[in-house]
Amino acid sequence: MNLTELNRIATALVAPGKGILAADESSGTIKKRFDAIGVESTEENRRDYREMLFRSNEAMSRYISGVILYDETIWQNAKDGTPLVKLIEQTGAIPGIKVDEGTQPLPMCPGELVTVGLDKLAERLKKYYERGARFAKWRAVIDIGSGIPSMTAISVNAHALARYAALCQAAQIVPIVEPEVLMDGDHDIDRCYEVTSRVLNKTFQELRVQRVALEGMVLKPNMAISGKKCPKQASIEEVAEKTIRLLRACVPAAVPGIAFLSGGQSDEEATAHLNSMHKRGPLPWGLTFSYGRALQAAPQKAWSGKAENVAAGQSAFSHRARMNGLASKGEWQSSLEQKAA
């Protein structure tokens, strides 16, 4: 393992003003998103859509540090025969790959899930590296509800995250470690804070046990935020203050960077929260975004599967990428959204 190189890539992924495009939607997830814009989810349409994003030179070269790909996408070529990974590399961004294989019910733990995909992961990582992937992602899902999460669910998922991370580093691939505490419930921000604290502490305990070099990884956590169904929604300032307090308490300074998931927030909410966090520096790690829907909802709608809308889709993507790039330096203002509207 070349830790110097792993650290270089991890640091590049969280470079000031840049963040990660999560374009790793499963076939089922992207079908739902295409259904919403009236586009059939064929392999060709999925390829055309992602090629549109990766050819958005302004967004990709100025505001995107890396792209998380789905297994189908990493092997695809653009219409002109250029591998999609090469399009990403040509913009200066780093190709990455989602390697988990989704979730299954956790035995003896009703309502809880465990992420699977460790079997033969070492072999898959070798092939992904040869194709050009230099980082990977594994998502663990922790739900908040009546009597959950259990310590069993937290422990099992933290253990799997750490095993995945160790396998990645052995394959010279930077692991993005993503323990997501879902915001789907009616819990308040303090309940989210308490659960996320337990999840992060257990995850870093497992990472140490399995000898993962913290200098060669990136953390992709949720923010401390109210559940969607909570009658009292925390303000932007409270989300920022409690998230930073949580991360300072749980995330070692050796970690080069933290790239937040958007987790169901609106485009502008995700941007505003990130921006507000940067008003509370200096911070011991780089702090940026790793957004999927919060970067892509606008370009998907603008594109709507039509070749004549590619420029409009790229413009919408560039705007959201720029807004989040500014937020990752604490330089975003809501008036910038209104000017673009």
Question: How many other β-carbons are positioned within 10 Å of the β-carbon of residue 273?
Answer: 23
Query: Residue 23 in 3-state DSSP?
Result: strand
User: What pLDDT does 281 receive?
Assistant: 78
In the chain, what are the domain boundaries?
A: 3-340
Res 265: pLDDT: 85
Residue-by-residue pLDDT tens, the chain, 341 positions: 999 999 999 999 999 999 999 999 998 999 999 999 999 999 999 999 999 999 999 999 999 999 999 999 999 999 999 999 999 999 999 999 999 999 999 999 999 999 999 999 999 999 999 999 999 999 999 999 999 999 999 999 999 999 999 999 999 999 999 999 999 999 999 999 999 999 999 999 999 999 999 999 999 999 999 999 999 999 999 999 999 999 999 999 999 999 999 888 888 999 999 999 999 878 999 999 999 988 999 999 999 999 999 999 999 999 999 999 999 999 999 888 875 54
DSSP 42: -
Cα distances (Å, whole numbers) of residue 22 to 46, 98, 148, 267, 338: 14, 9, 28, 14, 25
Please provide the size of the chain in residues.
Answer: 341
Instruction: State the alpha helices, DSSP H only, in 218-340.
Output: 236-250, 267-277, 293-303, 310-327, 334-340
Per-residue tokens: 112: 């809880």
Span 106-118, pLDDT tens digits: 999 999 999 999 9
φ, ψ at 291 (rounded to 5°): -100, 145
Q: Establish whether 178 is a catalytic residue.
A: yes
Phi and psi (nearest 5°) for 8? -60, -45
CATH 3.20.20.70 corresponds to the domain 3-340: yes
Q: Which of 112, 178, 180, 206 is catalytic?
A: 178
Catalytic-residue membership of 220 = yes
User: How far apart are alpha carbons 185 and 230 in whole angstroms?
Assistant: 7
As given in the structure block, the two tokens for residue 253 are 């300074």
Read off the pTM: 0.95
